Structures are given as C-alpha cells and as structure tokens.
Amino acid sequence: MSRYTGSRNKLARQIGEDLSLKTNALKVGRRINIRPGQHGAKRRRKLSDYGIQLREKQKIRYVYGVSEKQLQRLYQQATKSQLATGSTLISYLERRLDNVVFRLGWAPTRAAARQLVSHYHVRLNGKKHNVASYQVQINDALVLSTKASKIPAIKAMLESDAVQPEWLEKKQVAARVVRLPVRSDVIEPVVEQLVVEYYSR
C-alpha cells in the first residue's frame, strides 16, 4: 500500500493550516500561508464548492495519515451505520491504533505513533501487534514496551502532562479503552460533512 513519505510541511502549506504533522509548530507557522511550488507565493484563486470539499477530504487524510483507499473504505462502513455518517467516519479514524497511541501521549505525532506500532512497541491485549489501522474496541488494553519508553523523545512525552481524551484511561505505559470516541472528543478543526458531500457526489 502506497504511503506519503515526503515533506509534512508541504502538506500543511497545501491546506493552509497547521495539521500537527510536525513537532516544531514555529517552523511550520513561518510559511504556512505560502503554497508549495514555483507559484506558491501568488494569490490563491477562490475555491469552488467541489474544491472546498476536496481540500477538507485531503486535510482529514493528512491529519490521520491514511490513504485514499483506506478513507473510502471507512466511509463505506460509516454509510452503513444508523448514526450520522460524518460522525461515524471520524469515530472510525479516531479508533485507529496509531491514533490511539498518539492520543495517549506516547508519541509526539501520528507518524511517530505509527512507527511505534509497526515496530511492535505496543502490546494489545497482551499480544504483540503491528497493524496501525486496527480499530480498537471497548476494554482493549494497551501497553507500551519498556524499550520504547527509554527512547528520549518518548520518555519526554511520558514525563509531560499531556491532556488525554475522556474515552481513554491511562496509567503511564498502560492504557485501556473506556468507551468509543464521539464527535465531541475530536479537537482538530475538521468539517466531516464536507467529506460526506465529496464522496456522495
């Protein structure tokens, strides 16, 4: 499966917002309003309705680090739910294992969280697990490996007082899923309704 491995700052500049893809927010902020490319400094054209929907869809993709195929699959699953499609889609994205590791404050970015998972540094329900797209369930137990907790960047994260969402319960390197996430748990400024409109065209 293809995955974007280029500059994270280019993605933020493309959208025109800080997507929390990098740890250095000051560096991102310097050029956030200049689009990447030769003509990036020129005035932006007014976006059409389709352009606005596309940009919001791309923003959600970049924030959660998912491919187009993965997002389409989650959207199809969300349409089968009796709840609002947009809120269900966001809930599915929040329940990804790499996002849960990020939300617990065990990694500075979702990309770093994905690497922790893929390198078997997170045990799920007592077993080794390396699938970043796994959808966590209620009462799933997560434990960060001792080796990972000694990594300087991760150790600094563990020592900081990171705010964790209410749907997760954490005690240092151990955590549990208390309930499934809802729309109000998401702090990122995303408009999921635009994504629903994009895919339902």
Average pLDDT rounded to a whole number, residues 178-186: 91
Is residue 140 packed enough to be buried (19+ CB in 10 Å), middle (13-18) or exposed (0-12)? middle
**Mean pLDDT, residues 19-26:** 58
Residue 3 clears pLDDT 70, i.e. is over it: no
| pTM check: above 0.75 | yes
Tell me the CA distances in angstroms from 169 to 46, 63, 112, 179, one per residue in order. Answer: 44, 23, 21, 10
Q: Is the pLDDT of residue 1 over 50?
A: no
Task: Give the pLDDT confidence score for residue 108 in this predicted structure.
Answer: 87
13-22, 96-105, 111-120, 145-154: lowest mean pLDDT where? 13-22
pLDDT tens figures, 120-170: 999 999 999 899 999 999 999 999 999 998 888 888 888 877 778 899 998
Residue 183 near residue 81 (C-beta atoms within 8 A): no
Q: What is the pLDDT of residue 4?
A: 64
| Amino acid 23: pLDDT | 54
Strand order in the sheet with 122-124: 127-128, 122-124, 141-144, 174-177, 168-171
What is the model's pLDDT at position 156? 85
Between 44 and 27, name the one with better pLDDT: 44
Residue 24 has pLDDT above 60, yes or no: no
Q: Which residue ranges form the domains of the chain, and what is each CATH number?
A: 1-46 (no CATH), 49-95+185-201 (1.10.1050.10), 97-180 (3.10.290.10)
DSSP string, 124-150: ETTEE---TT-B--TT-EEEE-HHHHT
Whose structure tokens read 């809930």? 91
pLDDT of 144: 92
pLDDT digits (tens, 9 = 90+) for 32-89: 666 666 655 566 678 889 988 998 998 899 889 899 999 999 999 999 989 899 999 9
Alpha helices by DSSP H, listed for 22-129, are: 25-30, 49-64, 68-79, 85-94, 97-103, 110-118
The answer to whether 188 and 68 are in contact (CB under 8 A) is no
User: Is the confidence at residue 190, as pLDDT, over 70?
Assistant: yes
